Amino acid sequence: MRPFRLWAIARKEFIHILRDPRSIGMAVAIPMLLLLLFGYALTLDVNNVPIVIWDQNQSQDSRELISKFQGSRYFAILGYVYSYPEVERAIDSGEALAALIIPVRFARRIEAGRAAPVQFIVDGSDSNTATIVMGYADAVAWGYSQDVAFSEIRRLEGQKVRLPLDLRTRVWFNADLESKNYIIPGLIAVIMMVIAALLTSLTVAREWERGTMEQLIATPVKGPELILGKLLPYFAIGMFDVLLAVLMGEFLFQVPLRGSPALLFAMAAIFLAGALSLGMMISIVTKSQLLASQLAMVLTFLPSFLLSGFMYAISNMPVPIQVITYLIPAKYFVSLLKGIYLKGVGLEILALEAVLLSVFGAAIVLLANRKFKKKLE
């Protein structure tokens, strides 16, 4: 492999990128736009759940229960209703996500020391959100029940009640439980996989469609020199994109980087080399820019988004799908990014993911070189 021939191919590709604004836009602007869009729009936090109240009791006890919901940051009381049709209208229209209904004899049953049923109606259209909201409501109701029980015991026995179990929770790695802290690192992996494959999926196919491949074949440039020379410019752009994404995560989204930046960029380089080579291989096989871009999107975006563990826990997937996820390189990069970003761990913990990601990168680079044949077919 001759360095000057490699540099000539890389320089040619750099000039083509600079003369094509669409390539620059796809290479730099689109990843930043996607990160902004997904970073702000995609959130799994469930806060300020809009609810309506139907207080049929209108007592001090019912108002104390309502104050528990009002004082929680998870609920936002929209207003009061006075019939079931109003409850249905509020939920059906999407104005409210839930409704709290306090029965007429609520205070009487509390004073008698009996269980007082309270109805909490939830819109189950979004099952995940509904499950979370019901958990919030259970926690508020349990807190109110404890207060009532302790107050009654103090009144009857005249002594302070102490719980036998003092549970003190402590959250590691993501103390504020903000979804952006693990969504942003995963987004970097998904976006880089898609953009890298899309960029290089057009390179060789473009040469075939424009008729310039015949000229390259006639030159002394060897196949590996052509492949590597075309990869180098996009690799440099991809690493620049990673730098921008890390800076945006740190300063725009305030996602702390607890681990080693050097390890992060090293793993990103390996992942990027594999993703770029995958796009190159698609371009070599299809020889059509349209088909290559479509195939690159199918082979990168859907698997990276759905099967990498970025959005959905792999452990909850069916076993056959879990087996397939081991073939998705973004899975290992997402695990590496989350470990570096959130936990601040290094290769002593992430060695397996790093090795598997390196195997993927090396295998795809070798396969792309093997698929390219410097001859007309």
pTM of the predicted structure, to 2 decimals: 0.79
Q: Please give the domain boundaries of the chain with CATH numbers for all domains.
A: 3-43+178-371 (no CATH), 49-157 (3.40.1710.10)
The per-residue pLDDT for 213 is 67
pLDDT in tens, 165-174: 777 888 888 8
Assess whether pLDDT exceeds 60 at residue 377.
no
Specify the length of the chain in residues.
377
Report the Cα–Cα distance between both ends of the chain, in Å, rounded.
Answer: 24
Assess whether pLDDT exceeds 80 at residue 218.
no
Q: Which of 44, 56, 113 is nearest to 84 (CA)?
A: 56
What are the φ and ψ backbone dihedral angles of 42, each rounded to 5 degrees?
-90, 110
What SS3 state is found at 75? strand
Number of neighbours of residue 11 by Cβ within 10 angstroms:
13
146 vs 284: CA distance, rounded Å = 68
53 vs 76: CA distance, rounded Å = 11
pLDDT in tens, 116-145: 899 999 999 888 889 999 999 999 999 898
Question: Is 39 in contact with 187 (CB distance < 8 Å)?
Answer: yes
Worst-scoring range by mean pLDDT, 50-64, 199-213, 331-345? Answer: 199-213
Residue corresponding to tokens 């088909």: 291
∠ Cα 158 160 162 (to 5°)? 145
Average pLDDT of the segment spanning 87-98:
93
pLDDT in tens, 263-304: 999 999 999 998 888 888 888 888 777 788 788 888 887 888
Assess whether pLDDT exceeds 90 at residue 186.
no
